[in-house]
A = this chain, B = another copy of it.
Amino acid sequence: MDLDFWLATFQDLGKKIAEQMKQYAGTADGALIMGKGAGGDLTLKIDKIAEDIILDKLETLNNNFDQEFTLVSEELGIREFGSNSDTCIIIDPLDGSFNARQGIPYYATSMALATGKTVNDVVLGYVLNLANGDEFYAIKDSAAYFNGREIKAREVEIPRAFVFEAAHNKAGLKRVEPLLDMFERARCLGSTALDICYLAAGKVDIFFYPIPSRTIDYVAGKVILEEVGGVITGMLGENLDELLLNLEKTLPIVAAGNPVTMKKVMDIIQLSRI
């Protein structure tokens, strides 16, 4: 499998989507409802634009260049391109879609490539912050990059910044509470893919998604995070590697910049019976 080819493809797609978002994010036009995505969320015009850019490219690769793969997409669901390939492409065209609709400057496109059907098979992750151009990617067992520079694994430091999702959910917020004292500041920013990538790049120290998540939400970020010594598991420490690449909601997840911070967080989670 030509990983450089796929990385270049993802970068090209990201650039095209970012250009369109400059025009449509935060506008009434961009917020028009176009239908319902395979993941169950409403599909807005901004989602559709991002999806169409990707679909167009994937169809060309399949029709004209004999590339075969299975697409797993937040919007389209699972679709076979060709009949018999283990290659899997996992895409959330617009992660943080709510932010993009509103014009809150924190949303991304998230893409990953796998050699099989499970989380452990992901070999390339690519995430682009569409609101400011920050770019993250990693090739498994090779290296991870933030804006073109290799990310180095961090020394263990005092954990300061805690990022969580699900603040529109009281049950989720309750699960967040016991962790607040451990950190200087908490943030709820609204894009899981970006949260995990900024964690990988050392900008935040822990990410907590206290409600059932989908593999599609985090696999691109996971390969980037793990490449720099970070850890991501289920909320109770479950290994995520055998989970299938699909749109099913499974486990709440926790991610940390290093095992020491993860251990501290797991201790609090267990102690407080979140």
Write the residues of chain A forming the contact surface with B, with a CB cutoff of 8 angstroms.
26, 98-99, 102-106, 129, 131-132, 134, 160-161, 167-170, 173, 176-177, 180-181, 183-190, 198, 201-204
Instruction: Show 26 A/B contacts (Cβ-Cβ < 8 Å), sorted by A.
Output: A26-B203, A98-B161, A98-B184, A98-B185, A99-B187, A102-B160, A102-B161, A102-B204, A103-B201, A103-B202, A104-B161, A105-B105, A105-B106, A105-B129, A105-B131, A106-B106, A167-B186, A168-B183, A169-B180, A170-B177, A170-B180, A173-B173, A186-B188, A187-B189, A188-B189, A189-B189
Q: Chain B residues near A177 (CB, 8 Å)?
A: 170, 173
Q: Chain B residues near A132 (CB, 8 Å)?
A: 105, 131-132
Cβ-defined contact, A184 with B201, below 8 A? no
Cβ-defined contact, A104 with B170, below 8 A? no
Cβ-defined contact, A104 with B204, below 8 A? yes
Distance, CA A105 to CA B195, complexed state (A): 11
- Distance of A200 from chain B, by nearest CB (Å): 12
Cβ-defined contact, A203 with B129, below 8 A? no
Distance, CA A173 to CA B185, complexed state (A): 12
Distance, CA A185 to CA B97, complexed state (A): 11
- Contacts A161-B104, A204-B104 given: A167-B189 contact, CB under 8 Å? no
Chain A's interface: helix, strand, loop or mixed, by majority? loop
Q: Chain B residues near A204 (CB, 8 Å)?
A: 102, 104
Distance, CA A106 to CA B177, complexed state (A): 23
Cβ-defined contact, A185 with B168, below 8 A? yes
Distance, CA A98 to CA B103, complexed state (A): 22
Q: Pick the contact of A203 from B102, B180, B198 — CB < 8 Å?
A: B102
- Distance of A169 from chain B, by nearest CB (Å): 8
Q: Pick the contact of A104 from B173, B176, B189 — CB < 8 Å?
A: B189
Q: Chain B residues near A185 (CB, 8 Å)?
A: 98, 167-168, 190
Q: Pick the contact of A187 from B103, B183, B190 — CB < 8 Å?
A: B190
Cβ-defined contact, A188 with B167, below 8 A? yes
- Distance of A186 from chain B, by nearest CB (Å): 4
Residue of B nearest to A27 (CB): B202
Residue of B nearest to A98 (CB): B185
- Distance of A254 from chain B, by nearest CB (Å): 17
Q: Chain B residues near A180 (CB, 8 Å)?
A: 167-170, 173
Cβ-defined contact, B198 with A186, below 8 A? no
- In the A-B complex, list the 6 residue pairs whose CB atoms are closest, starting with the nearest: A167-B186, A103-B203, A132-B132, A188-B188, A168-B185, A102-B203
Cβ-defined contact, A104 with B198, below 8 A? yes
Q: Pick the contact of A103 from B168, B190, B198 — CB < 8 Å?
A: B198
Q: Chain B residues near A161 (CB, 8 Å)?
A: 98, 102, 104
